[in-house]
Structures are given as C-alpha cells and as structure tokens.
Amino acid sequence: SDPVSGKDVTWQAPPLQNVFQRWDEEVIRFTIERGRPGTPMPTWGVEYGGPMTSQMIDDVIAWMASLPGNQEGPPELSAGCEKPAKKDYMSCGEEIFTARCAVCHGPQGQGKEEQAPKGERPLWYQGLALWKGDAKHLPRLQHVTTIRNGRRFAFMPAWAEAPAQGIAAPAYPLTDEQIEAVVTYERSL
C-alpha cells in the first residue's frame, strides 16, 4: 500500500539488473541509505534510522553490481544514430529514447503516473510523463540542460559526455547531437 495515502497501488520500480547503466554508485548508495520518500523504498542506512551498517550496504551494492546486465552496456545504437544529422533527429531520438530513457519514462514517454495516485507526490518519484506535451512546456535550453546534466538525487542521470562541473560523467554518455535528437523526439510526444 502507498505509505502516504494508504491506498493499494502497484509499483513498478526500475530493474536492478541494469541500475549501474543509469546511476553511479554514489546515487545508488544514497537511495539505499535514505530510501525514497513516498515510495515503498524504505530507509536502510543505520545513520538514517534503518537497520543496515555501511558494510552491509557495501555488500548489497556489490551484489547488485554482480547481477547479469550490470556488467554490460545498454543496447547498441544503429550506426546512423551514433552521430545523427539534424534530418534524422526524430527517428534517432526515438531509438535513443527507447534504448536509454524508456526504463524510467516508459516506452511511450508515459512515465509511471498510472501506478501512483495523482497529486500525492511529485512527478519525479514516478519518472516524469513526457507524452502529454509536458516536455514542450520547458524552454528547449532547459530541456537540453536537464538531459546533459541530469537532476542529481531526483534520479535523472546526466547523459552528456562532459556534464557540468561536479557531475559525474555517465558510463554510457550521449553526444550533443544525440541529446538534441532525444529532445526533438521528446518534444513531439
């Protein structure tokens, strides 16, 4: 049941077998130690009121890293989408979105709003829905910057090859052209 409202809900959490393709170890540790308020993910770190010591959390992270999928990269992109031309932004944006973004935002950009009662928690707990034109309301530069640099501890990873200072580069970065393609596709939803 929902810890906020007490209503029965079905939660669809991102899969653990590819968590290291999306987030760095610091974000994974933060999530385990402190939980995710408003979701079924509890606080586990003893420093935050949970039952697990730092060593126990290290063991959980090591176990997660050993899961099949965490040693592999995300799906390969087609050759044409490695450095897409502007005329290919829409088709490549969809391909890249499917390979990198859909795990959180859903295959059609629907987010996870259907699994959570509306108005009871911020959208970032569900993976922002992009399919209702939500992305079009952001200024394009802000949209690009969000994908480039992520939203630290809001569980939106940085995707740029060289994100802003102090933000870890992702294991599987996107080029500026690929980010522009994703933005073009998302703004069409």
- What would the pLDDT profile of 109-142 be if each residue is shown by its tens digit? 776 555 444 444 444 444 566 766 667 778 899 9
Tell whether 22 is covered by a domain: no
Q: Kindly report whether the global pTM for this prediction surpasses the value 0.85.
A: no
Domain presence at residue 119 = yes
In-domain check, residue 84: yes
Assigned domain for 47 exists: no
Structure confidence at residue 50 (pLDDT): 96
Q: How many residues does the chain have?
A: 189
Range of the domain at 168: 79-188
Averaged pLDDT for residues 174-178: 96
| Dihedral sign of CA atoms 152, 118, 103, 25 in order | positive
Domain count, the chain: 1
Residue 72 lies in a domain: no
Residue 162, sorted as left (phi over 0), alpha (psi -120 to 50) or beta, turns out to be beta
pLDDT of residue 124: 41
Kindly state whether residue 142 falls inside one of the protein's structural domains.
yes
Report the C-alpha gap between 177 and 175 in whole angstroms. 5
Nearest to 74 by CA among 89, 92, 91, 96: 96
CATH code (residue 88): 1.10.760.10
Query: Looking up tokens 């390969």, which residue turns up?
Result: 76
Q: Identify whether 33 is part of a domain.
A: no
Task: For residue 148, tell me if it sits in a domain.
Answer: yes
The pair of structure tokens assigned to 64 is 């997660």
Cβ neighbour number for residue 102 with a 10 Å cutoff: 16
Checking if the pLDDT of 37 tops 50, the result is: yes
Q: Give the pair of three-digit tokens for residue 78.
A: 């087609």
174 DSSP 8-state letter: B
Confidence of residue 87 (pLDDT cuts 50, 70, 90): very high
Cα–Cα distance for residue pair 109/123, rounded to 1 Å: 13
